Amino acid sequence: MSIKWGRFHEVPHITVRFIGPKHGEEKEKEKDKIKEKEKDSKDKEKDKKTVNGHTFSSIPVVGPISCSQCMKPFTNKDAYTCANCSAFVHKGCRESLASCAKVKMKQPKGSLQAHDTSSLPTVIMRNKPSQPKERPRSAVLLVDETTTTPIFANRRSQQSVSLSKSVSIQNITGVGNDENMSNTWKFLSHSTDSLNKISKVNESTESLTDEGTDMNEGQLLGDFEIDSKQLEAESWSRIIDSKFLKQQKKDVVKRQEVIYELMQTELHHVRTLKIMSDVYSRGMMIDLLFEQQMVEKLFPCLDELISIHSQFFQRILERKKESLVDKSEKNFLIKRIGDVLVNQFSGENAERLKETYGKFCGQHNQSVNYFKDLYAKDKRFQAFVKKKMSSSVVRRLGIPECILLVTQRITKYPVLFQRILQCTKDNEVEQEDLAQSLSLVKDVIGVVDSKVASYEKKVRLNEIYTKTDSKSIMRMKSGQMFAKEDLKRKKLVRDGSVFLKNAAGRLKEVQAVLLTDILVFLQEKDQKYIFASLDQKSTVISLKKLIVREVAHEEKGLFLISMGMKDPEMVEVHASSKEERNSWIQIIQDTINTLNRDEDEGIPSENEEEKKMLDTKARELKEQLQQKDQQILLLLEEKEMIFRDMAECSTPLPEDCSPTHSPRVLFRSNTEEALKGGPLMKSAINEVEILQGLVSGNLGGTLGPTVSSPIEQEGVVSPVSLPRRAETFGGFDSHQMNASKGGEKEEGDDGQDLRRTESDSGLKK
């Protein structure tokens, strides 16, 4: 048995010795391959990290971008950008660029160490008292400037390294003889473990970051911590002394708890708004170089919202400070809060809330859709959002979440106010203020809802207008033509899919668009809307004198009967369900009633409103012109006074003209005071006719023989008698010529010539 066991044991032993070498060689080959792969991967990684920690990739140049190293603009050559710090450099500038600020590089053997001070300048070390809650700080030193000013920024506390000393920054410019280091030293940490970190950061991407928190975010985080210290407890009962708490009644405690919740939620809301402004909005404009319009498209009315809620929160904190009990820093009891709430939701503040939230909430869907498009198409924006969400300030609060929280905030106030009112007893004035504030905030929400609905309808009508074919046109029953452009002049009430029934009994799916005074049916053709065709009937129906009736024995149908013209016209419409049919009937009837009521009360229609707006604008422009005319008049009067002074200096005033005598005014501001040519000419003609009549009356209508007087003998010519107005100048001229040729004429001939009433041949023609 032992021999058999021995043979049995030797068989596998021989087999192992025979197969073993091949198996070992295969394993060695696999190990060699694995080592080669690891070596290749290490070489690749080494190649990537050889350029001071930068990972460069070639990109085309778009826009005026300068090199981060030589500061020269890119021409037609491709730029190289770092995936970590987003620095842009030329191909030849990659090797000379300073180490990447976003990558913590390993120290080479020959580099400076914290304990090796042989090549460092004199550095004064001072003891620093250990403060467990104080954050380490970092300083930026700009050597290029004449004065070295440290700029401090908050940093995250490093628990793994205990710092007991800090570095005094003196003679720091002596470090580094390299050409690249001699330009600027822009970063030096106070911590001893970061003494060897020297980097030159591009201005466009310069940041003091530690785990995603830059300088601005650190300051914002500090502000949040200051505010949250006052409201760090979860509830009011935990922030006050237990002895003081036991002295209060249950209703008082409940009331203070709700007020404290209002304060906390308002703080969180202000925090969200500041994250949207200081982190996302500012970062998009600085880091991504987005235009202001793009940012406002994402965050409309953001500055106004911050102003409104910051002031409201400060007023609540002031009331809390006024309510401190026995000069205690913890114990406070707010007895009056209703007046603050009434002030916030009434008057000018209420109008600001209505306008701001109406616009912000109305553009909610548009802002979210715009964010989704940017996030899907722009990789830089995608990386920016991911980086900001990893920040300790943002706490993974994305842009859509921020927008949603802001839109929901105004709906939280009624619940809080109602709870405060229920817990308020034995104080009638406070109850009245709380009830009034509750009513005011509901009014504000109602107006905001209407503005949001109006904005959404406006957007929807614009979509319908854009999709409608510009060549499509429809004649209404009244003969008026209705085209695509008429849609923009109306306001949308409702739209939806319905069915029109033709004479053959077939149903045709169309899009019903109910406007303020017209109901339009559109059908889709080639991805465009055109006016629907229905048995030679108009599918643009006026709501004036329109009757809406249910179809008998048809729960989904309704009749639209136009009674305005001689021949009534009826259109049968079917909805998708009975409830939908009833909804259409109700809303069409309400719109008709509103239209009739507006006409009875004299409320102008949309066209009249547009005309009224134009008249108002014209009146305003006219007033502006009058103001400009008044300014011109004042300038001209000043100029006239200067000319008058110059005239007085050159020629003295007459004796009969007193200094106070005001000459004729040359410039007038009112057109009614200005002299008009027509009346002046008429008055001059009247005066001439009066003088003519006097002269003709004195002469008796004839040219009698003149007796030479002593004056004539002296050579003075006597005045000649003028003809009357009925006589022509042609006849008078011929008469004078004949008189001059013939010397003396007979008396009868002269009288006959002067009394001619016929006009000459030239005037007859």
pLDDT of res. 539? 87
Q: Is the Cβ–Cβ distance between 284 and 370 less than 8 Å? A: no
Residue 622: is its pLDDT beyond 50?
A: yes
pTM for this prediction? 0.51
- What token pair was written down for 521? 């049916």
Q: Is the Cβ–Cβ distance between 138 and 239 less than 8 Å? A: no
Q: Is the Cβ–Cβ distance between 128 and 166 less than 8 Å? A: yes
Q: What is the DSSP string of 546-574?
A: EEEEEPTT-TTEEEEEE-SSSS-EEEEEE
Radius of gyration of the chain (CA): 48
Q: Give the pLDDT confidence of 687-697 residue by residue, as tens digits.
A: 888 888 888 77
pLDDT of res. 206? 39
pLDDT of res. 698? 66
d(CA 428, CA 425): 8
The pLDDT confidence band at residue 221, using thresholds 50, 70 and 90, is low
Backbone angles phi, psi at 440, to 5 degrees: -65, -40
- What token pair was written down for 171? 């003679």
Average the pLDDT over 513-526 and give the result.
90
Residue 414: is its pLDDT beyond 90?
A: yes
Cα distances from 15 to residues 7, 26, 27, 380, 386, in angstroms, run 12, 17, 18, 63, 60
Task: Look up the CATH superfamily of 215-451.
Answer: Dbl homology (DH) domain (1.20.900.10)
Average the pLDDT over 222-231 and give the result.
62
Dihedral sign for Cα atoms in the order 38, 42, 48, 54: positive
pLDDT of res. 62? 57
Buried-exposed string 324-344: b where 16+ CB fall within 10 A, e elsewhere: eeeeeeebbbbeebbbbbbbb
d(CA 747, CA 753): 10
pLDDT of res. 449? 92
Residue 382: is its pLDDT beyond 60?
A: yes
- What token pair was written down for 701? 């209508």
Average the pLDDT over 536-549 and give the result.
87
Residue 743: is its pLDDT beyond 70?
A: no
Q: Tell me, what DSSP letter sits at residue 280?
A: I
Q: Give the pLDDT confidence of 164-180 residue by residue, as tens digits.
A: 333 333 333 333 344 44
Mean pLDDT lowest for which of 114-128, 302-316, 395-409, 622-636? 114-128
Put the strands of the sheet holding 188-189 in their side by side order: 153-154, 137-139, 188-189
d(CA 179, CA 177): 6
Residue 162: is its pLDDT beyond 90?
A: no
Closest CA to 262 of 218, 300, 312, 311: 312
Q: Is the Cβ–Cβ distance between 455 and 360 less than 8 Å? A: no
CB contact set of 522 (below 8 Å; sequence gap of 6+): 464, 468, 510, 511, 513, 529, 530, 531, 532, 539
pLDDT of res. 138? 36
Q: Where are the domains of the chain?
A: 122-209, 215-451, 468-603, 608-652+664-672, 687-699+721-765
Q: Give the pLDDT confidence of 77-93 residue by residue, as tens digits.
A: 667 778 777 777 887 78
Q: Is the Cβ–Cβ distance between 437 and 417 less than 8 Å? A: yes
The backbone region for 701, taken as left when phi is positive above 0, alpha when psi lies in -120 to 50, beta otherwise, is left
Domain 468-603 class, CATH top level? mainly beta
d(CA 16, CA 18): 5
d(CA 567, CA 563): 8
The four Cα atoms 579, 581, 587, 589 give a dihedral, to 10 degrees, of -130
Count CB-CB contacts under 10 A for residue 108: 7
pLDDT of res. 513? 92
Residue 413: is its pLDDT beyond 80?
A: yes
pLDDT of res. 227? 61
Q: Is the Cβ–Cβ distance between 513 and 464 less than 8 Å? A: yes
Q: In the chain, what percentage of residues exceed pLDDT 70?
A: 62
Count CB-CB contacts under 10 A for residue 755: 14
Buried-exposed string 261-282: b where 16+ CB fall within 10 A, e elsewhere: bbbbebbebbbbbbbbbbbbbe
The pLDDT confidence band at residue 728, using thresholds 50, 70 and 90, is very low
Helix extents (H) in 275-328: 282-286, 292-298, 302-322
Top-confidence residue, 669 or 468: 468
d(CA 416, CA 399): 26
- How remote is the C-alpha of 626 from its chain's centroid? 33
Count CB-CB contacts under 10 A for residue 620: 10
Three-state secondary structure call for residue 737: helix
Q: Give the pLDDT confidence of 27-83 residue by residue, as tens digits.
A: 677 777 777 777 665 555 544 445 777 777 777 665 567 787 777 777 666 677 787
CB contact set of 231 (below 8 Å; sequence gap of 6+): 239, 260, 263, 264, 267
For helices 413-423 and 428-467, angle between their N-to-C axes, nearest 10 degrees: 170
Which H or E run contains 166?
A: strand 165-167
Residue showing tokens 């005011």: 440
d(CA 341, CA 475): 56
Residue 443: is its pLDDT beyond 90?
A: yes
Domain 215-451 identical in fold to domain 468-603: no
Closest CA to 345 of 269, 420, 435, 419: 435
d(CA 682, CA 676): 11
Dihedral sign for Cα atoms in the order 442, 445, 450, 451: positive
Residue 22: is its pLDDT beyond 80?
A: no
- Amino acid identity, position 33: K
pLDDT of res. 416? 92
pLDDT of res. 713? 43
Which H or E run contains 195?
A: none
Residue 213: is its pLDDT beyond 60?
A: no
Q: Give the pLDDT confidence of 474-500 residue by residue, as tens digits.
A: 888 877 888 888 888 888 999 999 999
If you average pLDDT over every residue of the chain, what do you get? 71
Q: Are strands 125-127 and 165-167 parallel, antiparallel or unpaired?
A: antiparallel
